[in-house]
Amino acid sequence: MDNTIILIVVGVIVGLVIGFIIAKTIEKNNASKLIKNAKKSAAAILKEAKSEGETIKKDKILQAKEKFIELKAEHEKVILARDKKIAEAEKRTRDKESQVSSELAKNKKLNADIENKIKDYNHRLDVLDKKQAEINKLHKSQVQQLEVISSLSAEEAKEQLVESLKGEAKNDAMAYIQGALEEAKLTAEQEAKKVIINTIQRIGTEEAVDNCVSVFNIESDDVKGRIIGREGRNIRAIEAATGVEIIVDDTPEAIILSCFDSVRREIARLSLHKLVTDGRIHPARIEEIVKKTKKQIDQEIIEVGKRTVIDLGIHNLHPELIKTVGRMKYRSSYGQNLLQHSREVAKLCGVMAAELGLNPKLAKRAGLLHDIGKVPDAETDMETPHAILGMQWAEKYGEKDDVCNAIGAHHDEVEMKSLLAPIIQVCDAISGARPGARRQVLDSYIQRLKDLEDIAFGFNGVKKAYAIQAGRELRVIVESDKVSDEKSAELSFNISQKIQTDMTYPGQVKVTVIRETRAVNIAK
């Protein structure tokens, strides 16, 4: 029994060993097959990879060759362009060299001509010096002969001649002045009529009304008496405060304000309106209202300037230039309103600059400011041409160089340095050349009245000066502490003589000097 079990166990072990050996053998065979298959697959993959690598290598070589050809072509183009530029530069250099050579030849010829002329002039100067010496010698001998003949020296003869001429000149001058004064008194009425007739013939009615006269409408003719005042004191106070001539005639419900300065007329019109509305009309009240109205007009001038700048789309303009633009409303140029003219020029400049591809805003700015020199602040500015004065103001208040140059060059008083300058000049001519835009007669008339006032301001002690009666009368108000009653008469005579000497005018001009003393105290 035991042997049987042992045999069974041995048999099982032998079977297991044999099975294990068989399994290992089978596994080894399978592994060798797998290795063979793997080697075949690897060989196929390597072959395929080599084939693809060769293909990629060929493609890359072709791309590199194409890139090289392209870069080579571009490089050749650059070289050709550079060679062309060098050739052009060499040609320009040769042209300049030939031009310089011709200029040098011309200069040498001119220098030779100049040297010849200098030699000729030096020779002539030598001849003239010799002749002058001979003339001086002859003159000296003649003077000596005259001294011997007259028994007087040259200095004594000169003194006697000068004294004689002085006496004759004084007598002739006094006789002439006396005769002129008497003739003026005799012919004053006749000459005044001639002046009035000539004025009516030369100046159109609508022009005089639009530029020199304002009409103040009133509700009833009773107001006229209140405006005139007792013995005319109210109307005299208004005229003295505003410098405007007030004409109260038979025209129903209307009073005429006459003055060449539209600012003064506007101040007088607004002051009269306030006085009539308030009802209190007396000299003290008149002076108070006129002062307030002047401040109101100054503020209105600033508002007009701001509105104009906003309408034209101009920004960052200096406040002083805005105020100057506002003052243009009350100025005229050859009968044409200066503000309307400047607005028109600004719009024309903007359009023209846009058509030419320039900056239209800058052109508008220069067009608006081109005539600011026609509204000077001080009397001394009147001597400077308005284009130069406007350019100086523009530079002072920070405007660009192109704008400043355009303002100064629009009448060819400075050299044009940009395309903006001829545009301003052309547009200014277009605006002024329209039929009916300007009237030369009125402008010369207004200039004559301004010159009258300027002559009065040229004397010491003059406080105010107003040209009235269409320039036939100059009313001068002096400072009482500087000018006495005796000097008032002398000042009136001196002003009249200055007007006769410096001005040309029809008829005659009456000079009235007013001296007033006031004592003012305040009760507290």
Q: Is the pLDDT of residue 301 over 70?
A: yes
Statement: residue 193 has pLDDT above 50:
no
Residue with tokens 């050809």: 69
Strand partners of residue 257: 214, 246
The CATH classification number of 439-515 equals 3.30.300.30
Instruction: Report residue 27 as tokens.
Output: 């596994």
Task: Tell me the three state secondary structure of residue 438.
Answer: coil
**How large a percentage of the chain has pLDDT more than 70?**
81
pLDDT tier, 383 (very low <50, low <70, confident <90, very high otherwise): low
Enumerate residues 6+ apart whose C-beta is below 8 A from 287.
237, 241
274 vs 290: CA distance, rounded Å:
10
154 pLDDT above the threshold of 70: no
pLDDT score at 207: 37
Tokens of 245: 């001539």
pLDDT exceeds 80 at position 371 = yes
What per-residue confidence (pLDDT) applies to 433? 60
pLDDT at 197: 39
Nearest CA-CA partner of 305 in 284, 286, 326, 320: 326
For 335, left (φ over 0), alpha (ψ -120 to 50), or beta?
Answer: left
pLDDT tens per residue, range 460-495: 889 888 888 767 788 998 988 888 888 888 888 888
Confidence of residue 153 (pLDDT cuts 50, 70, 90): low
Around Cβ 202, how many Cβ atoms within 10 Å?
12
pLDDT at res. 199: 32
Share of the chain above pLDDT 90, in %: 1
- Most confidently modeled range among 185-199, 237-251, 372-386, 488-502: 488-502
pLDDT level of residue 507 (50, 70, 90 thresholds): low
**CA separation for the pair 493, 483 (Å, rounded):** 14
Q: Bigger pLDDT: 246 or 187?
A: 246
Model pLDDT for residues 243-299, shown as the tens digit of each residue: 888 887 777 777 888 777 777 888 888 888 888 887 788 888 888 888 888 888 888
Each domain of the chain, given as residue ranges in start order, spans: 214-433, 439-515
Highest mean pLDDT among 27-41, 150-164, 413-427: 413-427
CA atoms of 205 and 199, how far apart (whole Å): 10
The band of 521, judged by pLDDT with boundaries at 50, 70 and 90, is confident
State the chain's mean pLDDT as an integer. Answer: 79
Residue 201 in this model has a pLDDT that exceeds 60: no
Provide the 3-class DSSP secondary structure of residue 186: helix
pLDDT score, position 2: 65
Q: Tell me: pLDDT of 441 over 60.
A: no
User: pLDDT (tens digit, 9 = 90+) per residue, 212-241?
Assistant: 667 777 777 677 777 777 777 888 888 888
348: closest CA among 330, 360, 358? 360
CATH topology assigned to domain 214-433 = Hypothetical protein af1432 (1.10.3210)
Burial class (CB in 10 A: 0-12, 13-18, 19+), 14: exposed
pLDDT at residue number 190: 64
Calculate the dihedral angle through the C-alpha atoms of 141, 144, 149, 150, rounding to the nearest 10 degrees: 140
pLDDT at 195: 36
Q: How far apart are CA 134 and CA 136, in angstroms?
A: 6
Residue 487 has a pLDDT of 86
Cβ neighbourhood burial of 346 (10 Å; 0-12, 13-18, 19+): buried
**How does pLDDT run across 33-63, given as a tens digit for each residue?**
888 888 888 888 888 888 888 888 888 888 8
